[in-house]
Amino acid sequence: MHSNTHNTIKDGSTPNLGAPSATEILNSLQHMPGWEQRYRYVLELAKTVTPDAVEHNQSHAVRGCEAPVWLRIETTAENTLRYYTDSSSRLIRGLLVILFAPVQNQSPEHMVAFSFEDWLRSCGLQQQLTPSRSNGLFHICQHAKTSAEALL
């Protein structure tokens, strides 16, 4: 874990303003007939990423991704975790909204036990991702899980 990747939350900021819940995302994706519709939905979700929620610096950078990705994790007063993400790629930005929706505002234990692979499969996205993109998302998930494990 990088020292600045994780912080204690100090304000009422929300990771992704207007982003749907994990249940809403899952329902939407499961009812879309094809990849083109899912792709457009992912790009729409990218617009919900809170601007400037994570500083684009080395302390928030996640290594192992083709497109630059930044991740900031904060602990709330209730000991739940909030994930702030960004990427220079609009597609990755939208995928990050989907990826972190089911673990947003959950405990570190929930994050550590969560299966991102099963989640992406349930959403119908796992088979649509290139090996390179899947590998990058795996690195992001591992980075977040390692950060959560450090809190246990």
Q: Please report, in tens digits, the pLDDT of each residue of the chain (152 residues total).
A: 333 444 433 333 456 657 899 999 999 999 998 999 999 999 999 999 887 788 898 889 998 888 999 999 999 999 999 999 999 999 999 999 999 999 999 999 999 999 999 999 999 998 888 999 999 999 999 999 999 999 88
pTM: 0.86
Q: Is 43 exposed, middle or buried (0-12, 13-18, 19+ CB in 10 A)?
A: middle
Q: What is the structure's pLDDT at 16?
A: 64
Q: What is the structure's pLDDT at 1?
A: 37
Domain range 6-149, CATH architecture? Alpha-Beta Complex (3.90)
Q: What is the structure's pLDDT at 15?
A: 63
Query: What is the spatial distance between Cα 19 and Cα 24, in angstroms, rounded to a whole number?
Result: 9
Query: What is the spatial distance between Cα 36 and Cα 42, in angstroms, rounded to a whole number?
Result: 10
Query: What is the spatial distance between Cα 70 and Cα 140, in angstroms, rounded to a whole number?
Result: 9
Q: What is the structure's pLDDT at 40?
A: 96
Query: What is the spatial distance between Cα 106 and Cα 44, in angstroms, rounded to a whole number?
Result: 24
Q: What is the structure's pLDDT at 13?
A: 43
